[in-house]
A and B are shown apart, each in its own frame.
Chain A
Amino acid sequence: MSEIKEIIISSDKIHTDQYLVNMGPQHPSTHGVLRLLVRLEGEIVHHIQPHVGYIHSGIEKMCEAISYPQVIHLTDRMDYLSAHMNNEAVALCVENALQVEVPERVKYIRTIMDELSRLASHQLWWCVMGMDLGALTTFFYGLRDREHILDIFEETCGARMTLNYSLPGGVMFDIHPNFQKRVKEFIKEFKKKLPEYDQLLTGNVIFQERTKEIGYLSLEDAIAWGVTGPAGRGSGFSCDVRKHHPYSAYPLVQFEEKLDTRGDTFTRYRLRIEEMHESMHIIEQLIDNIPEGDYAVKMKGVVKLPEGEFYQRVESARGEFGVYIVSDGKKNPYRVKFRSPGFSNLFALNKMASGHKIADLVAIMSTLDLVIPDIDR
């Protein structure tokens, strides 16, 4: 209650025509326990104040008490839709610190898993985007296709979402003998399914009316607020970590960083769809050429990082995910900081959605593709 009063008093005069609405912590379109304090005038959104922390699990603090290989298992509880990217970020960070060179096979496997995760994440985003706008069929289409990827994950490492697959030094198991066959089958099938997405939602007149020229984010604002991922690229901010700071097998593959300068909701939507095409393209280049070799290098029983600070960034499905480790030479980190894409993206919401209607706020929030544990960590 005190917050609500504060906001009203802090403005020049007490507005009698504006009112505050708490969207969340329980709200269908915040996709988790996110609370937005929205100041409205009728239907028009004037100001959005996100309140985070409702699902804060203290992961960064917990990391200080556990060893490096154990940190991996916490990271996929943050952004559970890009679990593998998060695992990989920590693994890469530790490997770089110890200057361990992983076998080529590991790099290939990790990159393929990255892109499969990205596909699965974008599929779920697409489901939810449609649902937020009121088109319910998208939910069934997206989940239908996502199921195949999760099956592949399950066969590879036993988990469907929280993979725990990348470890410092390699991956936990070798790929299943069926892996290549199933991935190729999936790609072949999904290539036919993806145009259906366009037919159902992208081409829809109502959808275009709802999203075009809504929620504009300028390049300056995108950079200032640190908006990364497809949301940032929709404003023309070239921020693809895979391109600018390549890791794993990304230097070996050809792919485009999709950019657009229009910066509206529809652009962000379209870039994600195009990113799915690119992901499939990347997997196709790698899947037949996975080199033979070990799936992990032998690491010491107790991993101790040299004293110093280490940073590693990867491109998760939402944007730039960073791991910052400060080590004092012990077996557990002195301090760990995760740079989560969702956190930065969320706070640009006020810039994007002010002046639009409530319904637009939901659509804009949807294109940011928020995962709340990723924001709160």
Chain B
Amino acid sequence: MPKSADRFLYNLAPFIIMIATFLAMAVLPFAKGLQTMDFDIGIFYVTAVSSIGVIGILIAGWSSNNKYSLIGAMRSGAQILSYELSVSLSLVTIIILAGSMQLSVIVESQRDSWFLFKGHIPSLIAFVIFLIAGTAETNRGPFDLAEAESELTAGFHTEYSGIKFAFFFLAEYINMFIVAAMATTVFLGGWMPLHFGSFESFNVVMDFIPPLVWFFMKVLGVIFLIMWFKWTFPRLRVDQILTLEWKYLLPINLVNILLMCLVVLTKFHL
């Protein structure tokens, strides 16, 4: 621990991040009934608790008394708060389609076709935005400004070592899992097997694969996508990241919600 660090906050920060992360795990439906809690406001709960994490990052950056940490924390504060909007709004788009915020209901109503296909173009746009914003919210590349190892050495956790550092890292990867699991649950049918309307035999074969396997296959697929981004794309600059959110993603998202409303009202969906 650095000499001039704020001891209490310095020790507290990793725990806040871990708590935020594990709270979000509570509502994820791994399979039918395999869910710790089934709120009727499941999605709202996930978005709410996952934003606690940013407080941990800000505290970690401030209490370390290191300039790199502080820059990283301020970047991450600006970034996560902005992208929270996009994540929530893209989820709202799907809530409109599903008519419920309860995760088990959302999965159940994707029995015939996943929401990604059901809502046509608005769903697709929402999915892409969710992936982008989700990557940004978990501080993964190309949005990993908060740690930006080539600029800020290790960003907000520069001064951490040992198990406290491990907590930050674990939280980052669990966050990635949560984003992938949410994308799976909300867009890709959760633990539901892949069904095509008229291919009866295909559907029966698909039913033989257990739901838990389906869930993890989809989640790992999304995680693969997110990791692929990180390894391929250069990192954005802090002003570009905010421009992307406020000038592009947010307006697109708002228009997209209107589109989805139209789709739902006209019963155009599958």
Contact = CB atoms under 8 A, between A and B. Distances in A.
A210 interface: yes
Contacts of A206: 142, 233-236, 240
A136 B151 contact: no
A134 B142 contact: yes
Contact of A359 (B67, B141, B232, B237): B237
A210 B239 CA distance: 11
Nearest to A356: B237
Interface in B81-132: none
B232 A200 contact: yes
Contacts of B237: 209-210, 357, 359-360
Contacts, number: 71
Interface in B199-247: 230-240
A261 interface: no
Interface string A270-296: 000000000000000000000000000
A135 B150 contact: no
Contacts of A223: none
A137 B231 contact: yes
B148 A134 contact: yes
Contacts of A131: 150
A207 interface: yes
Interface size class of A (residues with CB under 8 A): 20 to 34
A132 B148 CA distance: 9
Contacts of B234: 130, 133-135, 201, 204, 206-207, 210
B152 interface: yes
A27 to B, nearest CB: 6
Interface residues on B, range: 20 to 34
B153 interface: yes
Nearest to A133: B234
A79 to B, nearest CB: 22
Interface string A4-37: 0000000000000001010000011100000000
Interface in A112-151: 130-137
A264 to B, nearest CB: 15
A135 B230 CA distance: 7
A44 to B, nearest CB: 10
Given A210-B237, A357-B237, A360-B237, A29 B151 contact: yes
Given A19-B67, A21-B68, A359-B148, A133 B235 contact: yes
13 contacts: A43-B71, A133-B235, A134-B150, A134-B233, A136-B141, A136-B231, A201-B234, A204-B234, A209-B236, A210-B234, A210-B240, A359-B148, A361-B151
Given A43-B71, A210-B235, A358-B71, 8 more contacts: A28-B149, A28-B150, A133-B235, A134-B234, A135-B231, A137-B232, A210-B236, A210-B237
